[in-house]
Amino acid sequence: QKEVEQNSGPLSVPEGAIASLNCTYSDRGSQSFFWYRQYSGKSPELIMFIYSNGDKEDGRFTAQLNKASQYVSLLIRDSQPSDSATYLCAVRGGNAGKSTFGDGTTLTVKP
């Protein structure tokens, strides 16, 4: 079992819909959680981080964390074709150091 698991996709949603990206992790002691977006041929870009259970909203993005279920998700509201990318979930055991990345979920938003 991988330490951080994501559905590889591709996940396809129509423009304007909500895209839901999911991530599970195996280390119950994980404390820091990150979502990155990676466009084809580019490096990852930080979208959001979340440390506490519950929801965290930033514009069209909402990160949801449930430590009891070892589950973190990213919701993208009003999806746009420009959101088409691979989304990487990263998990860290403490407040510093190395993060473990999932393999990513590829999202396609169709006009």
Which stretches of the chain bind other proteins, using CB under 8 A?
32, 34, 36, 42-46, 49, 51, 88, 90, 95-99, 101, 103-104
Measured on CA atoms in the order 79, 82, 86, 90, is the torsion positive or negative? Answer: negative
Q: Give counts: helices (H), strands (E), the chain.
A: 0, 11
Q: How far is the CB of 60 from other proteins (least distance, A)?
A: 18
DSSP label at residue 81 = G
Using the minimum distance from each CB to other proteins, give the nearer residue, 25 or 36: 36
Using the minimum distance from each CB to other proteins, give the nearer residue, 20 or 32: 32
Cis geometry, peptide bond prior to residue 10 (ω within 30 degrees of 0): yes
Q: How far is the CB of 54 from other proteins (least distance, A)?
A: 16
Using the minimum distance from each CB to other proteins, give the nearer residue, 40 or 69: 40
Q: How far is the CB of 15 from other proteins (least distance, A)?
A: 25
2: Cβ contacts below 8 Å, ≥ 6 apart: 26, 102, 103
Using the minimum distance from each CB to other proteins, give the nearer residue, 76 or 91: 91
